[in-house]
Structure 1
Amino acid sequence: MYHFTAFVTVLACVALFYASFRVGKARGTYGIKAPATTGNPDFERVFRAHLNMLEWMPIFLPGLWLFAVYVSDKVAALLGLVWIVGRLMYMVSYAAGPEKRRAGFAIQALAAFALLIGALVTIVLRMVHG
């Protein structure tokens, strides 16, 4: 069973839900009526941080689960937590100013890359060595 990875998957979904909630709150704060997605730079940064997280979920989740299955549930979960922390850092810092988003983006990108590369290498090695 992959309890640790399952737990981190739920946390990632909660983080995405939180990002979505922030967009709704920002709509009220900045007076941006749905379906508009532009009109205030502060709103647009909150909106883009949410969309950016959504764009990364299809990269992160398969990597997380493949790593858990082929390498380690606990290590996958740890890297998944790093990814979530990076995403939250990105979300908060990007809302404060686009020039501040780099650290959070780098952290989450490295965690996602480690999950994908770790899974890929292990899968290939198992294919080659039976």
Structure 2
Amino acid sequence: MYHDTAIVTCLAIAFYFFTSAAVARARYTFGVKLPAISGQPDFERIFRVQMNTLEWMPIFLPSLWLFAIYISDAIAAALGVVWIIGRIVYFIGYRQAVEKRGPGFGIQALACIVLWCGALGAPVWKIIH
């Protein structure tokens, strides 16, 4: 069973829900009416955090689960927690200024790359050997 990975998956989805709520709050705070998504830089940065998180979820989630299945539930979950921490650091930095988004992006991208390499590498290794 993959209990650790399931919990991390739920935490990642909870973080995405948090970013959605942050966008809703930012709309109210900065007076950005639907369907607008531009015009107020503070709102736009929060909106981009949500959209960037959404853009990474289809890379992150399959890689997380395939890594768990082929390599290790615990290691996949640990890397998943690193990914979530990276997304949080990204959120905090990007909310302040565009220039501050880099460290969080790097953390989450590295975690995702490791997950993806494991997700691809382990089955290829098993096929070859």
TM-score normalized by the length of structure 2 = 0.99
Q: How does 1:1-130 map to 2 (within 5 A)?
A: 1-129=1-129
TM-score normalized by the length of structure 1 = 0.98
- Secondary structure class of the residue paired with 1:46: helix
TM superposition shift of 1:39: 1.3
Aligned pairs, number = 129
Q: Deviations over 1:100-121 (max 9, x none)?
A: 0100000000000000001211
Unaligned runs of 5+ residues in structure 1 are: none
% identical aligned pairs:
56
Q: Which runs of 4+ in 1 moved over 3 A?
A: none
